[in-house]
């Protein structure tokens, strides 16, 4: 196994490469900041076309995790890893064990978890060679499916948006459009219905739509996301692919509130300001979808669903804080969220620096 260090100036603390010819492992770990604690973030297993594409992804994802973890109030910095390859063809027990040794070689600076292309059984294999892993099965002390708290956190963020927009932390009588009703979207749908709201959905997978119709025949269905964006809604909740808010969709979006679970909902920088200019309240995705990382972080302390849920409950307060800060400063909520996260990281780095200074 060979390790390499990345030397490009990106603002990251550390970027480490690993190549293990015996197993075929090619992996990169990015650590953006460990001011708040060890970097925590998932491992993405994906057939990147080039190494540069993999590097770009790990840099962006690890920075995003630093901001997400800071806002979530968990004692972790931002880290992320990518494994270059096709998980359906290249994944093996030997490769996963080699990857576990790579993670372990970082001495606890990075703690891994599931992401695209990896799952709980993979984390269980990795856990055989390192303790710096989460997203394990309950039999190994893991927290099980993080979708439960991801959906709950989005719902709590949505209630904070409702309070900011309409003066009451309630979705009673509100119409919510959910794009993507997989695990998280379906659970979010049930929270909205239980709170007295109505729901309209869309999904590219017919089986997901059929599941919703069977469980909740009162839910309306539209053909696609474009139809949902143009519908008369109170809240638009993107819960599938990123980039749904783009130059084509933002001008025609009718919902006055956007709050969903999908990552990277904004196709490019500047769209948050365009939404604000249109009077649309946008809840930053990495703020409201943090329930999943809260769930896995709790595994490191002997998993307790009640404790993890109580922390996810605070997404309401953080969302309220972000929206109030945005309103008082006259900036988009995404900018306000960034400022709060950055301040928390700076404060933590300052405390570390002070603690490291010799007395007298």
Active site residues: 80
* 181 annotated as a binding-site residue: yes
Q: Which two tokens stand for residue 17?
A: 């490469």
Q: Residue 63: which of 340, 349, 350, 338 has the closest Cα? A: 338
Burial class (CB in 10 A: 0-12, 13-18, 19+), 256: middle
* 184 annotated as a binding-site residue: yes
d(CA 196, CA 185): 17
Name 16's bridge partners.
Answer: 5, 29
177 near 236, Cβ under 8 Å? yes
d(CA 302, CA 300): 6
C-alpha to C-alpha distances, 187 to 10, 158, 261, nearest whole angstrom: 37, 14, 11
* 242 annotated as a binding-site residue: no
Q: Rg of the Cα trace of the chain?
A: 20
* 185 annotated as a binding-site residue: yes
- 25-33 and 14-20 strand pairing: antiparallel
* 182 annotated as a binding-site residue: yes
Binding residues for NAD(+): 180-185
Binding residues: 180-185
């Amino acid at each position: 196994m060979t390790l390499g260090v990345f030397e490009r100036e990106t603002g990251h603390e550390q970027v480490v490469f690993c190549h293990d010819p015996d197993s075929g492992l090619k992996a990169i770990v990015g650590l953006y900041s460990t001011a708040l604690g060890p970097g925590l973030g998932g491992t993405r297993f994906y057939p990147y076309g080039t190494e540069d594409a993999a590097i770009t992804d790990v840099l962006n994802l690890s920075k995003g995790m630093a901001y997400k973890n800071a806002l979530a109030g968990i004692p972790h910095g931002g880290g992320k890893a990518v494994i270059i390859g096709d998980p359906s063809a290249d994944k093996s027990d030997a490769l996963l064990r080699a990857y576990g040794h790579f993670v372990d070689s970082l001495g606890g600076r990075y703690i891994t978890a599931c992401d695209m292309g990896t799952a709980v059984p993979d984390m269980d294999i990795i856990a055989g060679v390192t303790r710096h892993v989460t997203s394990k099965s309950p039999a190994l002390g893991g927290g099980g499916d993080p979708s439960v708290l991801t959906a709950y956190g989005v719902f709590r963020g949505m209630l904070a948006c409702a309070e900011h927009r309409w003066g009451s932390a309630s979705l009673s009588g509100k119409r919510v459009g959910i794009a993507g009703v997989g695990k998280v979207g379906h659970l979010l749908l049930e929270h909205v219905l239980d709170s007295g709201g109505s729901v309209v959905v869309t999904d590219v997978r017919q089986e997901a739509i059929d599941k919703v119709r069977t469980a909740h025949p009162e839910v309306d269905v539209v053909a696609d996301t474009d139809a949902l964006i143009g519908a008369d809604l109170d809240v638009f909740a993107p819960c599938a692919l990123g980039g749904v808010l783009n130059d084509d969709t933002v001008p025609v979006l009718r919902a006055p509130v956007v709050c969903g679970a999908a990552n990277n909902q904004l196709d490019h920088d500047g769209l948050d300001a365009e939404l604000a200019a249109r009077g649309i309240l946008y809840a930053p995705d990495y703020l409201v979808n943090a329930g999943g990382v809260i769930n896995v972080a709790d595994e490191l302390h002997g998993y307790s669903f009640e404790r993890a849920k109580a922390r996810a409950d605070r997404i309401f307060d953080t969302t309220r804080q972000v929206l109030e800060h945005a309103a008082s400063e006259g900036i988009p909520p995404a900018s306000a969220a960034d400022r709060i996260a950055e301040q928390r990281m700076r404060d933590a780095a300052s405390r570390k620096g002070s603690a490291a200074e010799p007395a007298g």
